[in-house]
Amino acid sequence: MCGIVGYIGKRDAYPIILNGLKRLEYRGYDSAGIALYDGKNIQLCKTKGKVADLELKVTNEMSTIGNLGIGHTRWATHGEPNDVNSHPHYSNSGDLVIIHNGIIENYAALKKELINRGYTFYSDTDTEVLVNLIEDIKKNENVKLGKAVQVALNQVVGAYAIALFDKNKPDEIVVAKLGSPLAIGIGDNEFFVASDASPFIEFTNNAIYLEDEEMAIIRLGRDIEIRKVKDDSIVAPYIQELQLNLEQIEKGGYEHFMLKEIYEQPSVIKDTYRGRLLADKGIIRLGGLEDYIEKFINADRIIIVACGTSWHAGLVAEYIFEDWARIPVEVEYASEFRYRNPIITENDVVIAISQSGETADTLAAIKLAKEKGAFVYGICNVVGSTISRATHSGTYTHAGPEIGVASTKAFTTQITVLTLIALKLAKIKGTISQSNYMLHLRELDLIPSKVEAALKKNDEIEKIAKIFKDATNFLYLGRGYNFPVALEGALKLKEISYIHAEGYPAAEMKHGPIALIDEHMPIVVIAVNSNHYEKVVSNIQEIKSRKGKIIAVVTEGDTIVREMADYIMEVPNTPETLSPLVTTIPLQLLSYHIALMLDRNVDQPRNLAKAVTVE
Q: What is the contact surface with ligand F6R in residues (CB under 6 A)?
A: 307-310, 354-356, 359, 362, 406-407, 491, 495, 611-612
- Nearest residue to 494 (alpha-carbon basis) of 255, 362, 308: 308
Instruction: Select 309 or 388, whichever has its Cβ closest to ligand F6R.
Output: 309
- In angstroms, what is the minimal distance from the CB of 53 to ligand F6R? 24
- In angstroms, what is the minimal distance from the CB of 52 to ligand F6R? 23
Instruction: Select 101 or 309, whichever has its Cβ closest to ligand F6R.
Output: 309
403 CB-near residues (< 8 Å, 6+ apart): 23, 26, 249, 257, 261, 603, 610
Strand order in the sheet with 329-333: 329-333, 301-306, 348-354, 375-380, 393-396
Alpha helical stretches, state H, 286-353 = 287-290, 293-297, 308-320, 334-337
Taking CA atoms, 50 is separated from 100, 598, 615, in Å, by 17, 20, 24
Q: Are strands 500-505 and 473-478 parallel, antiparallel or unpaired?
A: parallel
Q: Is 308 helix (H, G, I), strand (E, B) or coil?
A: helix
Strand order in the sheet with 68-74: 42-48, 31-37, 68-74, 3-8, 191-194, 183-186, 206-209, 240-241
- In angstroms, what is the minimal distance from the CB of 356 to ligand F6R? 3
- In angstroms, what is the minimal distance from the CB of 411 to ligand F6R? 8
Instruction: Select 284 or 612, whichever has its Cβ closest to ligand F6R.
Output: 612
Q: Are strands 348-354 and 301-306 parallel, antiparallel or unpaired?
A: parallel
How far is residue 485 CA from its own chain's centroid?
A: 19
Specify which residues 331 forms β-bridges with: 304
Residue whose Cβ sits closest to ligand F6R: 308
Instruction: Select 406 or 475, whichever has its Cβ closest to ligand F6R.
Output: 406
Q: Which helix (H) or strand (E) holds 131?
A: helix 126-140
Instruction: Select 90 or 411, whichever has its Cβ closest to ligand F6R.
Output: 411
- In angstroms, what is the minimal distance from the CB of 314 to ligand F6R? 10
- In angstroms, what is the minimal distance from the CB of 305 to ligand F6R? 10
409 is catalytic: no
Given the residues 260, 270, 295, 610, the one annotated as active site: 610
Instruction: Select 308 or 400, whichever has its Cβ closest to ligand F6R.
Output: 308
Given the residues 2, 45, 307, 380, the one annotated as active site: 2
Give the span between the Cα atoms of 457 and 570, in whole angstroms.
7
- Nearest residue to 444 (alpha-carbon basis) of 273, 281, 585: 273
2 is catalytic: yes
Instruction: Select 329 or 360, whichever has its Cβ closest to ligand F6R.
Output: 360
Give the span between the Cα atoms of 142 and 165, in whole angstroms.
17
377 CB-near residues (< 8 Å, 6+ apart): 288, 289, 292, 296, 349, 350, 351, 352, 391, 392, 393, 394, 395
Is residue 597 within 8 A of residue 468, CB to CB? The reply is no
Instruction: Select 127 or 310, whichever has its Cβ closest to ligand F6R.
Output: 310
3-state secondary structure 273-292: HCCCEECCCCEECCHHHHCC
Q: Are strands 473-478 and 3-8 parallel, antiparallel or unpaired?
A: unpaired
Q: Which helix (H) or strand (E) holds 54?
A: helix 51-61
- In angstroms, what is the minimal distance from the CB of 483 to ligand F6R? 17
Taking CA atoms, 588 is separated from 412, 496, 535, in Å, by 11, 10, 25
- In angstroms, what is the minimal distance from the CB of 40 to ligand F6R? 42
Residues identified as active-site = 2, 610
